Chain A
């Protein structure tokens, strides 16, 4: 008898818990999942309508890692390596650089003596653009 009461309470709590989770998911704005079978296709497998999410443009530097860099006077050029969204267009200081199938790119830019401000830009076919600036001081 007591065991049945305990089991019933656990079951009840699980129902409350699942309902709470379902309500919380409904409140968070996530897209509902439609698993209804279309009326004109009897016996068809359930259709799941998942929203298509466009990949987000990004730009990551691999070399140099830091935005503030000091190099000796003898270093007349800097190799810049990074990653972006595959298919994105990348420029270093306004010069186009090639990207590979994985979005990797490598470019070389000349350095003046003193402080150099080097702008790396990536853009996608939607016109989105991401900029990163590297400050390289050549000398000492």
Chain B
């Protein structure tokens, strides 16, 4: 078999190039798993920085500001710890509706305490290191806040006391059984389904707010 007419120089070059390629491929194949093993499985994500377009932040007050203090720190999910300057504001008494307060404005930094949940309106100072507050809104404590929950489970018992229908649910996630009261105010979905369709063995999602079932969704079996 002829070798495509290569002369001695060509053959030497071919051997040299072939050998070089072989070394590169072998090195790459051996090094790749080692390099891959060196890579961290997760990359820590640095928090964003507040900037000129940041006009509102929310988070938890870190440390109780001293009496007369004009600064406090808010720990936020997005920006990490943010130093806030607040010289005070006249609260406007807003945030009262539907029988409970969604928020209250505070007049000065020392009205806050460690762990308070706040929404702060304002602007970022020129060097981007801290936030100048215009208004500070205090949110209800997490436990007292109106919380929405979804409970997915199978109905294991149905009772009809005078105040509505009580369902006992076996949650899909394996947690302990829970009872839910369905009243005339509770929506039942899909459209057209009624409380009569809530039978033992039916899989449902119960949407609740403040412990009251607002909706029951019958799930496909």
The reply to whether B19 and A135 form a contact with Cβ atoms under 8 Å apart is no
Q: Does A121 contact B (CB under 8 A)?
A: yes
Chain B 97-110, CB-CB to A under 8 Å as 1, else 0, gives 11000111100000
Task: Judge whether A9 and B22 touch: CB under 8 Å.
Answer: yes
B209 in contact with A13 (CB, 8 Å): no
- At the interface, yes or no: B18 with Cβ under 8 Å from chain A? yes
Binding site secondary structure of chain A: mixed
In the bound complex, do residue B95 and residue A119 qualify as a contact, i.e. CB atoms below 8 Å apart? no
Chain B interface bracket (under 10, 10 to 19, 20 to 34, 35 or more): 35 or more
| CB-CB contacts below 8 Å: A86-140 with B | 87, 89, 91, 93-96, 110, 112-117, 119, 121, 123-127, 129, 135, 137, 139-140
Give the chain B neighbours of A3 by CB distance below 8 A: 3, 6, 11, 14-15, 18
A5-B19, A93-B148 are known contacts. Are A117 and B30 too (CB-CB below 8 A)? no
User: B66-74, B160-168, B200-208: which lies at the A interface?
Assistant: B200-208
Q: Can you list the 4 inter-chain pairs with the closest CB atoms, starting with the nearest?
A: A6-B18, A94-B209, A2-B15, A115-B137
Residues of A within 8 A of B (CB): 1-3, 5-7, 9-10, 12-14, 16-21, 23-24, 27, 67-70, 87, 89, 91, 93-96, 110, 112-117, 119, 121, 123-127, 129, 135, 137, 139-140
A–B Cβ pairs within 8 angstroms, 21 of them = A6-B16, A14-B25, A17-B28, A24-B32, A24-B33, A67-B78, A89-B217, A93-B209, A94-B148, A94-B208, A96-B189, A96-B215, A96-B217, A113-B92, A121-B150, A124-B152, A127-B152, A127-B153, A127-B173, A137-B137, A139-B94
